[in-house]
Chain A
Amino acid sequence: MLEPIHVALGSLNIATLAPMLIAIVGALSILIIDLAKGGLHKSLYVMIALLFLLLDLGALVDFGGVFLKNGTILGFFDVMLMDGIAILSQIIIVVGSMLFIPLALTSKRFHEYDYPEYFALFMFMIAGFQFMVATDNLIMIFIGLETASLALYTLIALHNRSKSFEAAVKYFTMGALAAGFYAFGSMILYAISGSVEINQIATIMAEDHYRNIGYVLLSMAFMIAAFGFKLSMVPFHTWTPDVYEGSSAALAGYMSIVPKIAAFVVAMRLFEFLVHSGVAWLQVILYIGVVVTMTASNIWALVQSDVKRMLAYSSISHAGFVMAAILIGTTQSNTGLFLYWALFSFTNLGAFTMLWVNRQKNLIAGQSSDHPYEKFSGMVKTMPMAAVMMGLFMLSLAGIPPFGLFWGKMYLIGSAVSSGYTVLALIMALNSAIAGYYYLKLIVFMFMKEPIVGYDQYYFMNASLSLKTIIGIAAVGTIFAVFAVNPLLKVITLFVYNSGY
């Protein structure tokens, strides 16, 4: 007979679960409140979500302190892994979510916010993303990925228009395929190494000198397809514009930030040890992927007639830009990734919130989509403040100094140059220049054209105090990034360097 197993509670390090547990408890309490008393106003759920996200953030900041003092924290039989990049990305996830959730307090009524489940699913999704980044166990990553994705599909569909159903089903089918690819990839990795922990896989593969390189490459092909989908890299990007168009503008903005940072972190854990050990094939594939993603999506963005689709393509391009950091794989570039994404979340969320503010319920005659460029023409004459805000976000996205994203771009290009990727740096710079064109196109529409009668009533249709506050926060984050970059960079470098990336 086997001996009974005794597990000391201390060795579990249950605290490593705290941030996710807070999010899950938040979700459950929203559900329970709804069960106890239905029909409550959405603002209550927004506040509950905000409260738990705040607690979550507090726990993460606390972890940050512990990390800087004691190094990486492991828990639950080494499944949970709280290292610097996990904490950093979770902070970005939680802050992004905190900026997103007040966008539910619109002045118009929308179908999805009548359901408390919307907020519960949202919290579950955050927990899923947090699990995804705070582990290097392939199975745990899969569970986190699926928890988050399934919740996200539902959130998109809850918008309750035919386009959003289309978007949700499209995203779901493609996402299921990507999940399948991920499962195949991790299966092959497990088959050749006998472990599901990425760091052990790296050790085992280094020990036998990549004897099974064929299988490694096969699994990496699956993994690139899976993460290419999640990060919307060309040629796996096809779902992105449709899904962004179908979901509400706020959620589209959210989708361009939070799921991607989670996928970036996993890609970082998975691809970087291979890039560093000189698997040339992977390097070449990543190189091609990065360049094609940046360039092709920029060119597609040029010909869009809808601002939301343009922003969708631009976010693909930004993802390709940041993917370069994983290709380069130095501490400097990884730091650049987080810096870029932190700045990008403010700017992009601001831009999408501007679209959310002028969301109209019905299209007027002759309008082809929700947010055509014409809708914004001459905006400066009727709504000067809003036009200035939108222009600000566009300039920042284009990378015009001194606004937020300029610093991210500069730092990333700098890291490319300093590690010898001169051609890549040149391509990145060129792409920023191309991107400038379509961002400026919107500014031209807003500042230099005459207003079109009929559209002006929609400019602030959906605005409420909380939406304006979020735009204000995003604007402040974008404008004053110049002062924040240096301290931010120091902290990020400290975290990234200490977790060995």
Chain B
Amino acid sequence: MEHYNVANPYFGVFVLFVLTFGAFYATTVIARLASRALAAKDTEKIKLTVYECGPEVTKQPNRISTQFYLFALLFLLFDVEIVFMFPWAIDFKLLGWFGFAEMMMFILLLAIGFVYAWKKGALEWHNIK
């Protein structure tokens, strides 16, 4: 298959963006209208409460364990490194020995950080030293 040359390759992405969001939003609207017309309605008030068993319903404070933030940090660290590595990988054959040595150095530093995070228990689930 060949590439086809157009002035605006991202035009398709834009149209797709508009159409998918439009189509799926329209679907929810249609579903709402259909259910208004057709669905069996029930005025039972408890139906609208939070789906839980037993306890009195209170407002959810939306707090989550700090553990998740730690993984967010790890992600930031390693994914940003990978973003640096993508252009390098694409131009790997052009960059030659210079690029190779540079990236090996980079990965070495990354590895030190990785070993550090491992030893400190940052990669464990609920077990930080």
- A32 contacts the other chain (CB 8 A): yes
- 6 further contact pairs, Cβ within 8 A, besides A28-B109, A31-B116: A4-B93, A4-B94, A4-B95, A4-B96, A7-B98, A35-B115
Q: Complex: how many Å from CA A28 to CA B112? A: 8
User: Which A residues are CB-close (under 8 A) to B119?
Assistant: 35
Please tell me if the beta carbons of A2 and B94 are within 8 angstroms of each other in the complex.
Answer: yes
- A5 contacts the other chain (CB 8 A): yes
User: Which B residues are CB-close (under 8 A) to A7?
Assistant: 98
User: Which B residues are CB-close (under 8 A) to A35?
Assistant: 115-116, 119
Please tell me if the beta carbons of A5 and B95 are within 8 angstroms of each other in the complex.
Answer: yes
User: Which A residues are CB-close (under 8 A) to B93?
Assistant: 4
- A6 contacts the other chain (CB 8 A): yes
Please tell me if the beta carbons of A5 and B115 are within 8 angstroms of each other in the complex.
Answer: no
Q: Complex: how many Å from CA A31 to CA B119? A: 11
Of the A-B pairs whose beta carbons lie under 8 Å apart in the complex, a sample of 19, sorted by A's number, is A2-B94, A4-B93, A4-B94, A4-B95, A4-B96, A5-B94, A5-B95, A5-B96, A5-B99, A6-B96, A6-B98, A7-B98, A28-B109, A28-B112, A31-B116, A32-B112, A35-B115, A35-B116, A35-B119
| Chain A interfacial positions (CB closer than 8 Å to B) | 2-7, 28, 31-32, 35
User: Which A-chain residue is minimally distant from B116 (CB atoms)?
Assistant: A31
Q: Complex: how many Å from CA A2 to CA B116? A: 40
User: Which B-chain residue is minimally distant from A3 (CB atoms)?
Assistant: B94
Consensus secondary structure, chain B interface: helix
Please tell me if the beta carbons of A31 and B94 are within 8 angstroms of each other in the complex.
Answer: no
Q: Complex: how many Å from CA A4 to CA B119? A: 40
- A352 to chain B minimum Cβ distance, whole angstroms, is 31
- A452 to chain B minimum Cβ distance, whole angstroms, is 43
Q: Complex: how many Å from CA A4 to CA B93? A: 7
Please tell me if the beta carbons of B98 and A5 are within 8 angstroms of each other in the complex.
Answer: yes
Q: Complex: how many Å from CA A35 to CA B93? A: 37
8 nearest A-B pairs in the assembled complex, by CB-CB distance: A7-B98, A4-B96, A35-B119, A4-B94, A2-B94, A31-B116, A5-B94, A5-B95
User: Which B residues are CB-close (under 8 A) to A4?
Assistant: 93-96
Q: Complex: how many Å from CA A2 to CA B98? A: 16
User: Which B-chain residue is minimally distant from A24 (CB atoms)?
Assistant: B109
User: Which B-chain residue is minimally distant from A6 (CB atoms)?
Assistant: B96
- Convert B109-129 into 0s and 1s, putting 1 for each residue whose CB lies closer than 8 angstroms to a CB of A: 100100110010000000000
Q: Complex: how many Å from CA A3 to CA B96? A: 10
User: Which A residues are CB-close (under 8 A) to B115?
Assistant: 35
Q: Complex: how many Å from CA A2 to CA B90? A: 12
User: Which B-chain residue is minimally distant from A12 (CB atoms)?
Assistant: B98
User: Which A residues are CB-close (under 8 A) to B98?
Assistant: 5-7
User: Which B residues are CB-close (under 8 A) to A28?
Assistant: 109, 112
Q: Complex: how many Å from CA A2 to CA B91? A: 10
User: Which A-chain residue is minimally distant from B109 (CB atoms)?
Assistant: A28
User: Which B-chain residue is minimally distant from A120 (CB atoms)?
Assistant: B116
- Convert B83-95 into 0s and 1s, putting 1 for each residue whose CB lies closer than 8 angstroms to a CB of A: 0000000000111
- B93 to chain A minimum Cβ distance, whole angstroms, is 7
User: Which A residues are CB-close (under 8 A) to B95?
Assistant: 4-5
- A368 to chain B minimum Cβ distance, whole angstroms, is 33
* Contact with A31, one of B96, B99, B112 (Cβ below 8 angstroms): B112
Q: Complex: how many Å from CA A428 to CA B116? A: 50
- A219 to chain B minimum Cβ distance, whole angstroms, is 26
- A423 to chain B minimum Cβ distance, whole angstroms, is 50
User: Which A residues are CB-close (under 8 A) to B112?
Assistant: 28, 31-32
User: Which A-chain residue is minimally distant from B129 (CB atoms)?
Assistant: A38
User: Which B residues are CB-close (under 8 A) to A5?
Assistant: 94-96, 98-99
- B122 to chain A minimum Cβ distance, whole angstroms, is 12
- B119 to chain A minimum Cβ distance, whole angstroms, is 5
Q: Complex: how many Å from CA A5 to CA B92? A: 10
- Which chain B residues (44-94) contact chain A, with CB distance < 8 Å? 93-94
User: Which B-chain residue is minimally distant from A2 (CB atoms)?
Assistant: B94
User: Which A-chain residue is minimally distant from B112 (CB atoms)?
Assistant: A28
Q: Complex: how many Å from CA A7 to CA B99? A: 9
Q: Complex: how many Å from CA A6 to CA B94? A: 9
Q: Complex: how many Å from CA A5 to CA B91? A: 10
Q: Complex: how many Å from CA A6 to CA B98? A: 7
User: Which A residues are CB-close (under 8 A) to B99?
Assistant: 5
User: Which A-chain residue is minimally distant from B93 (CB atoms)?
Assistant: A4
- B87 to chain A minimum Cβ distance, whole angstroms, is 13
Q: Complex: how many Å from CA A32 to CA B108? A: 13
User: Which B residues are CB-close (under 8 A) to A2?
Assistant: 94
Q: Complex: how many Å from CA A32 to CA B112? A: 8
User: Which A residues are CB-close (under 8 A) to B116?
Assistant: 31, 35
Q: Complex: how many Å from CA A32 to CA B109? A: 12
- A227 to chain B minimum Cβ distance, whole angstroms, is 26
- A32 to chain B minimum Cβ distance, whole angstroms, is 7
Q: Complex: how many Å from CA A7 to CA B102? A: 11
